[in-house]
Amino acid sequence: MGANWKVHLTFAFLFLFTSLIAAPAQAQGAGIRVLDETFSYTFGKQAVFEIEIEGNLKEANLFYTIEGELGQNFRRAQISGGKATAIVSLTTGEIPPASLVTYFWRLEDTRGQLLRTREQSFRYLDQRFAWKSKTRDDVTVFWYGRDSIGNQALDQAKKSLVVIEDLLGFTQIQPIRIIAYQNWSDMRPAVVERWGEHQVVSLGVAMNAQTAVFFRHASWERTLTHELAHVLTSQLIEGPYDRLPFWLSEGLATYTEDQTRLGTQNPLSIGLLSSGPTRQEDIGPAYAQAQSLVTFLVQEQGGKKNVIELLATMSQGETLDNALTSVYSFDRYELERKWQAWLGNPIPEEPKPQPQVQLDLIRVALAAGVFSALCLMLFLILLRIFWRRLEE
């Protein structure tokens, strides 16, 4: 009898255990049967995700994450019976090249059953080329063509990261992917870059905190250093580098270049340098003056330590003026005056307006003076009349 009791207890335990395990699976949609699930994309155009179930769908939503970016993306799918289709536009560079995209579906059918599908992943590569890749020290280069292209890019990446750390103190804290195209025509579908109504040729683009894209040209090494400075800036502030003022984000990147840009003789306003140029003729001077502003901060205002503190303060949600005041004890307008004086173009001091109380006192004093003068004149007239009568 004791043995039978143990057997019954064992079966009861197993039944309870399997019931606890099975319950969550059923709650997540064990009743929904997936018949087919596919995805496809045309590079630089769109990605299409499709899923089909047995029965009819009530709601279907696609969720996906992009390697190197915070947060989760969402697309509501179009439904036809048991089939759902979600489309992601790729024309604006929403998914950087060579990124790993991970996605899943959340489904609800017309019977109220729910399903979260298993996660799937794919690497978003430009389908026009046969890509190769090589990794060294948490830096991966993707390229096509000769093997030497990948090796040269890896060697330059190492040199660039050393330069950035030496000049700015920024260090790599996340993996980095570098995508090397052979010319602008090849790279163009991967990046969309506009200044106002004018299309400009981008030598390279930092697309997020882990991705830099460039094409090989005469000074591609300088371009790679510039874009990697943007990448490390994004890693440091834990967000897109372009949320910083233009002069700061581009100034940091151009400061790491091995040349001084020309175009500081006619300084633009700090307001324009903060928002970025909108006219084609201002692009060159804006980059040169952004480089000059950061050079001034690094060389004349406490070095790279203060620059890192400025970025850290802004990454916590402080405004530019509050962060500048906290670190340097001046706001952006005082920065502009100090910088232009350093360039040899001092901004004339405008006369400060008199306080209202002081103006009122001046008005009272003037009125009192006029009244006293009138009283004196009246007294002299009366005195003269008095003496004339005495003489008569």
Both 135 and 227 in a single domain? yes
Both 236 and 268 in a single domain? no
Residue 315 lies in a domain: yes
Both 256 and 286 in a single domain? yes
Q: How would you write the pLDDT of the chain (392 residues) with one tens digit per residue?
A: 443 434 343 434 433 333 333 333 333 445 899 999 999 999 999 999 999 999 999 999 999 999 988 889 999 999 999 999 999 999 878 899 999 999 999 999 999 999 999 999 999 999 999 999 999 999 999 999 999 999 999 999 999 999 999 999 999 999 999 999 999 999 998 987 544 444 566 899 999 999 999 999 999 999 999 999 999 999 999 888 888 999 999 999 999 998 899 888 888 889 999 998 888 889 999 999 999 999 999 999 999 999 999 999 999 989 999 999 999 999 999 999 999 999 887 776 655 455 555 556 666 566 666 667 676 676 667 666 666 666 65
Choose the final residue of a domain: 97, 124, 151.
Answer: 124
Going by their DSSP bridges, the two strands 78-80 and 132-136 should be labelled as: unpaired
**CA quadruple 220, 242, 126, 85: dihedral, nearest 10:** 180
Q: Give the total number of structural domains in the chain.
A: 3
Measure the N-to-C terminal CA separation of the chain; round to a whole number of Å: 155
Choose the final residue of a domain: 96, 124, 152.
Answer: 124
- The pLDDT value given to residue 345: 78
Residue 18 lies in a domain: no
Choose the final residue of a domain: 73, 106, 124.
Answer: 124
> What is the CATH number for 86?
2.60.40.10
Where does residue 169 rank: exposed (0-12), middle (13-18), buried (19+ CB within 10 A)? middle
DSSP states of 266-299: SPPPHHHHHH---SHHHHHHHHHHHHHHHHHHHH
Both 41 and 74 in a single domain? yes
Residue 135 lies in a domain: yes
Both 170 and 248 in a single domain? no
Query: What is the sign of the dihedral through the CA atoms of 164, 166, 171 and 177?
Result: positive
- The pLDDT value given to residue 374: 72
- The pLDDT value given to residue 206: 93
Both 195 and 205 in a single domain? yes
Residue 10 lies in a domain: no
CA distance 262 to 241: 24
Both 171 and 136 in a single domain? yes
Both 237 and 332 in a single domain? no
3-class secondary-structure state, position 39: strand
Residue 233 lies in a domain: yes
Residue 386 lies in a domain: no
Both 153 and 190 in a single domain? yes
Both 96 and 200 in a single domain? no
Return the closest-CA partner of residue 85 out of 39, 45, 117, 123: 39
CA distance 291 to 236: 19
CA distance 302 to 330: 13
* Domain limits for position 310: 244-348
Residue 317 lies in a domain: yes
DSSP states of 176-214: EEEEEESSHHHHGGG---EETTEE---SEEEEETTEEEE
